[in-house]
Amino acid sequence: MKDYDENEYFSSDLSNRERATFEIGIKLGALYHLISGVPVSSDKKVIESIEKGFEASISCQPYVKSVKLKILQDKIEGNKSTELDYDEINGEKIKAVVTIEYKSIKVVAKIEWIEKLKYPLMFIEKIEEL
Amino acid sequence: MKDYDENEYFSSDLSNRERATFEIGIKLGALYHLISGVPVSSDKKVIESIEKGFEASISCQPYVKSVKLKILQDKIEGNKSTELDYDEINGEKIKAVVTIEYKSIKVVAKIEWIEKLKYPLMFIEKIEEL
Amino acid sequence: MKDYDENEYFSSDLSNRERATFEIGIKLGALYHLISGVPVSSDKKVIESIEKGFEASISCQPYVKSVKLKILQDKIEGNKSTELDYDEINGEKIKAVVTIEYKSIKVVAKIEWIEKLKYPLMFIEKIEEL
Amino acid sequence: MKDYDENEYFSSDLSNRERATFEIGIKLGALYHLISGVPVSSDKKVIESIEKGFEASISCQPYVKSVKLKILQDKIEGNKSTELDYDEINGEKIKAVVTIEYKSIKVVAKIEWIEKLKYPLMFIEKIEEL
């Protein structure tokens, strides 16, 4: 077991809430860029395997309590009817919800394609004291 | 279903064997760079979920018949005893076997860390006419 | 030009400081996972080209004011003396400083390998009201 | 300098041409998945910096003689008129040409979006004995 205190590296006037939103930002940025370009088909089993793989991976990161990734099957084109008939994951094709707890602060944040912004928005849905 | 013939884009003097080794090279390069940097812990369930996720994904690519990915548990440091106690996947920590069939040619290729080369070698183990 | 207000998606009790630390967390997570596994040699020109490429890329993201990436030449093994003699970027081999401004809040954050933690720490060095 | 012979790991009945097409396949797969999801704007300087960064990186890989990457400016939406106004690289927005030499064999291969296939095709344009 590592013995550490990473907190000494942080600006001392940072609140726990500020630290918690920083931590969850890291996770969303990581998840998004790990999954971009990953090959996928519309097959339910393929989708679920990829979802579970990235959920397990991001759950290893600091302060993560849960990760829920949805690859949006109706946005995936390609069911392997031919060799080239498959798709790639990008920001239009996923929804994710990540929950972290840093000290007494719990944060829930999301990645979601917002059609009117034409943008895969990362946003904080809830922040609360436990 | 897409109607296509991608073969017209290829050099006309390319043999089926040459095309098949090209195709499997693409898959190894893709798998390797998709998985590099992915967070992981030594937990068996985490490892298996990530393995299955990437196996499902690479299996979507053209001409792939099977993908077997092993994340080498004994090379993974970090069992989440603390928040920072986890690891990242790189070429020293995986073994992969990919099989493709292009027309009548079957190719089996691997990614494996070769200690004496200090290198995550991608190599063709077998090529045969079906 | 897109007309948008992404702020409506965020929890309404989020302060500008909390939002700013969230935004910079995203950028560090993105940079880190984009650059993990990228091939590199110890050649100064190669290193500088890769640094500038990722600096330019991350600078496109929302609220980023500056990005400085250093690939640590003395940590890079491989000068292409043979075909296999090159390296890959990972968290031990980089330093990065990112500055963002969200409304009146300026945040400076870093990615740096901390030897005693054996960890590529992402941390907020400074947060201030402009 | 590393002393090595990686060839012993390869199937002994592999021709130099087959090995060469394998090697260039790896490079295309690597380049494609390294660059997928990379943030970009339509600014010429940003585009050129990213192009040069990945050209330098892929040039480190075994047997590579040259790499030319074009990010297609007219396909990139977003000139940073607002914070969210930028784009991400994917297979529709690039052209790449990679040349390798393995022993006496030279291979030129490309990545190019083929509109009628709706696919970012990787293909071998030329293979020749030097």
pLDDT 10s digits, B83-126: 999 999 999 999 999 999 999 999 999 999 999 999 999 999 99
- Confirm if D80 and D41 have CB atoms less than 8 A apart: yes
- The structure tokens listed for A37 are 């370009």
Closest Cβ opposite residue A124 in set C14, C31, C119? C14
Write the CB contacts of B66 (distance below 8 Å, at least 6 apart in sequence).
B59, B97, B98, B99
Alpha-carbon distances, residue C3 vs C6, C7, C8, D81, D127 (angstroms): 10, 13, 14, 10, 50
What pLDDT is stored for residue B4 in this prediction? 60
Q: Is C14 at the interface with chain D, CB within 8 A?
A: no
Return d(Cα C92, Cα A27) in angstroms, integer.
19
The C-alpha angle with vertex D85 and arms to D81 and D90, in degrees rounded to 5, equals 140
Q: How many CB pairs under 8 A join A and C?
A: 125
- The structure tokens listed for A104 are 């007494």
- The structure tokens listed for B109 are 């290729």
What pLDDT is stored for residue D5 in this prediction? 79
- List all residues of chain B from 96 to 115 with a beta carbon under 8 Å from chain D: 109, 114
Mean pLDDT, rounded, of chain D: 96
What pLDDT is stored for residue D75 in this prediction? 98
Closest residue of chain C to A7, computed from CA coordinates: C123
Task: Report, as an integer, the average pLDDT of C2-27.
Answer: 91
What pLDDT is stored for residue B73 in this prediction? 98
Mean pLDDT, rounded, of chain A: 96
Q: Tell me how crowded residue C109 is: count the other CB atoms within 10 A of its CB.
A: 27
Task: Report, as an integer, the average pLDDT of A83-89.
Answer: 97
pLDDT of C11 higher than 50: yes
Q: What is the pLDDT of residues D88-99, one digit of tens each?
A: 999 999 999 999
User: Distance between terminal CA atoms of chain D?
Assistant: 27
Quote the minimal CA–CA distance from B37 to chain C in Å: 5
Position of tokens 């690891």? Answer: B87
Q: Is B71 at the interface with chain A, CB within 8 A?
A: no
- List all residues of chain D from 31 to 70 with a beta carbon under 8 Å from chain A: 32-33, 36-37
Q: How many CB pairs under 8 A join B and D?
A: 126
Of A3-7, A23-27, B23-27, D9-13, the least confident: A3-7
pLDDT of B39 higher than 90: yes
**Of residues A120, A105, A106, the one with CA closest to residue A31:** A120
- Confirm if D56 and C46 have CB atoms less than 8 A apart: yes
Dihedrals phi, psi of B85, to nearest 5 degrees: -90, 75
Q: Is B5 at the interface with chain A, CB within 8 A?
A: no
Q: Do A59 and B46 touch (CB under 8 A)?
A: yes
What pLDDT is stored for residue B1 in this prediction? 40
Q: Do B2 and A37 touch (CB under 8 A)?
A: no
Q: Do A25 and C30 touch (CB under 8 A)?
A: no
What pLDDT is stored for residue C2 in this prediction? 46
- Confirm if B29 and D29 have CB atoms less than 8 A apart: yes
Closest Cβ opposite residue D90 in set A33, A90, A119? A90
Task: Report, as an integer, the average pLDDT of C76-94.
Answer: 97
Closest residue of chain A to B65, computed from CA coordinates: A83
The percent of residues in chain B predicted with pLDDT above 70, rounded, is: 97
Closest Cβ opposite residue B25 in set D2, D26, D119? D26
Segments of C1-130 assigned E as strands? 39-40, 64-71, 87-88, 94-102, 105-114, 119-129
Closest Cβ opposite residue B84 in set C33, C88, C117? C117
Q: Do B124 and D4 touch (CB under 8 A)?
A: no
Q: Do D33 and B28 touch (CB under 8 A)?
A: no
Cβ burial, residue A13 (10 Å; 0-12/13-18/19+): exposed
Mean pLDDT of successive 10-residue stretches along chain D, which has 130 residues: 74 97 98 98 98 98 98 97 96 98 98 96 97
pTM greater than the 0.95 cutoff:
yes
pLDDT of A28 higher than 90: yes
pLDDT of C1 higher than 60: no
Chains in contact with D, where contact means 3 or more Cβ–Cβ distances below 8 Å, are A, B, C
What pLDDT is stored for residue C4 in this prediction? 59
